[in-house]
Amino acid sequence: MSDSKRRSAKLHGDRPAASSQRGYLDRKELAASAFERTRMPMVMTDARQLDFPIVLANQAFLELTGYSAEEVVGQNCRFLQGPGTSPAAVAEVRIAVSQEREANVELLNYRKDGSAFWNQLHLSPIRDDGGRLLYYFGSQLDVTEYRKVQYLEATEHRLLKEVDHRAKNVLAVVEGIVRLSRSDDAALYAASIQQRIQALSHAHALLAERGWQEVELSEIIKRQMESFASERVSMEGPEILVPAMIVQPLALVVHELLINAAVHGSLSAPSGRLNIHWQEVLGQGGFKLRWQETGGRTPSSDRQPGFGTAMVGAMIEKQLLGKVEREWSDDGVVVDILVPIES
């Protein structure tokens, strides 16, 4: 008897959870029939061969993927992956296999014709009597339509619940932008409005991604920083969750500070640096953010506050009911902002 046959002889299937005497005696043939006739796509991969090739696949799997038996057998299941497949989901599968454990992963796969489908993949190791891994069993479930329905239901629910609240909040912030923006030049005025509306749009997108729930302060800052990514910018602070209702005005404050740093402050000079640090305010609720610019352009002697400074003050003190303090020096500026969560 060959070595492979001796190893297979040590493989015994799981006992049925319920069976008659005859059913138990015929369990192997019945299991084989069920594997082939079930509407659920299934495969078996050989864990003893390099790269876990498929050694069994049922008709449902061929129908789901559009591949023929000749194209499937001997392939690793990754041939179903494509440009939209999440690397995180693939890594989850890889780690589970390397640890020889079960896994349930939802990932985007592709049929032979290039069409995509969402696959609810279940993996389960099959071992011999000595505990040695022989095969991996994989079942697939096309959950594309379910995901569509689930998404539509969730979207409709959130829309009905939030549309009035969102509209009022957004219009209030836009009104503030238009009212506070100013310029003697019509083109500059329009550009300043557009930039601030874009900043508001970034914050709106972030809220939508989070389901209009609380958002981490670091994420608010990072989203506004995307166009200003630089090794000269550092950020540090604990995880602080910001209520949805103050995310947009706070994002506009960060935007104004960034524009000022890029045009007049530390980010306008090659040697400049920007450090953003935040911390919780214990006993009071809320947080304190320190915006520190160093090595930028030397500020003018009169250090008159500009329009951006006035707008930051209005957003923090009038809308967020917080406090803002600035301290200029020959090396830059420090802005301390206190925001009460209760605002």
Q: What is the pLDDT of residue 41?
A: 92
The span from the CA of 194 to the CA of 217, in Å, is 24
Element spanning 187, H or E: helix 186-209
| Stretch among 99-103, 143-147, 228-232 having the lowest mean pLDDT | 228-232
In the chain, where the domains are located = 21-143, 181-339
DSSP secondary structure, 235-287, as one string: EE----EE-GGGHHHHHHHHHHHHHHHHHTSGGGSTT-EEEEEEEE-TTT-SE
Tell me the residue type at 12: H
| Stretch among 38-47, 133-142, 167-176, 255-264 having the lowest mean pLDDT | 167-176
Give, in degrees to the nearest 5, the angle at Cα 323 between 305 and 284: 165
pLDDT in tens, 279-309: 998 877 799 999 999 987 665 545 555 566 7
Query: Residue 162: which residues within 8 A CB-CB, separation 6 or more?
Result: 212
Class at the top of the CATH hierarchy for domain 181-339: alpha beta
The span from the CA of 197 to the CA of 201, in Å, is 6
Pairing of strands 215-216, 287-294: unpaired
State the virtual CA torsion across 155, 156, 161, 163 in degrees, nearest 10: 80
The span from the CA of 246 to the CA of 261, in Å, is 23
The span from the CA of 195 to the CA of 212, in Å, is 23
Over range 184-199, report the average pLDDT.
Answer: 63
The span from the CA of 183 to the CA of 192, in Å, is 9
Q: What is the pLDDT of residue 264?
A: 81
Written as six digits, the tokens of 209 are: 């991604």
**Confidence band (pLDDT; 50, 70, 90) for 238?**
very high
Domain 21-143: give its CATH code: 3.30.450.20
Name the one residue in this structure whose structure tokens are 């506009």: 252
Residue 234 has pLDDT above 60, yes or no: yes
Q: What is the pLDDT of residue 314?
A: 79
Residue 140's φ and ψ, nearest 5 degrees, are: -120, 145
Task: Return mean pLDDT, the chain.
Answer: 81
Q: How far apart are the first and last CA of the chain?
A: 78
| Stretch among 36-45, 117-126, 127-136, 143-152 having the lowest mean pLDDT | 143-152
Name the one residue in this structure whose structure tokens are 């995901």: 147
The three-state secondary structure class of 303 is coil
- Half-sphere exposure for 113 (CA within 13 Å, toward CB): 7
The span from the CA of 254 to the CA of 277, in Å, is 13
pLDDT in tens, 69-123: 999 999 999 999 999 888 888 999 999 898 999 999 989 999 999 999 999 999 9
pLDDT in tens, 249-281: 898 889 889 888 888 888 888 888 999 999 998
The DSSP call for residue 184 is S
The span from the CA of 16 to the CA of 27, in Å, is 8
> Angle, to 10 degrees, between the axis of helix 186-209 and the axis of helix 247-263?
130
The span from the CA of 45 to the CA of 133, in Å, is 11
The three-state secondary structure class of 21 is helix
Q: Report whether 289 contacts 339 (CB < 8 A).
A: yes
Q: Report whether 309 contacts 260 (CB < 8 A).
A: yes
What pTM does this model have?
A: 0.47
Measured CA to CA in angstroms, residue 329 lies from 49, 58, 259, 307 at distances of 68, 74, 19, 20
The span from the CA of 240 to the CA of 278, in Å, is 9
Residue 167 has pLDDT above 50, yes or no: no
Burial class (CB in 10 A: 0-12, 13-18, 19+), 61: buried
The span from the CA of 88 to the CA of 251, in Å, is 29
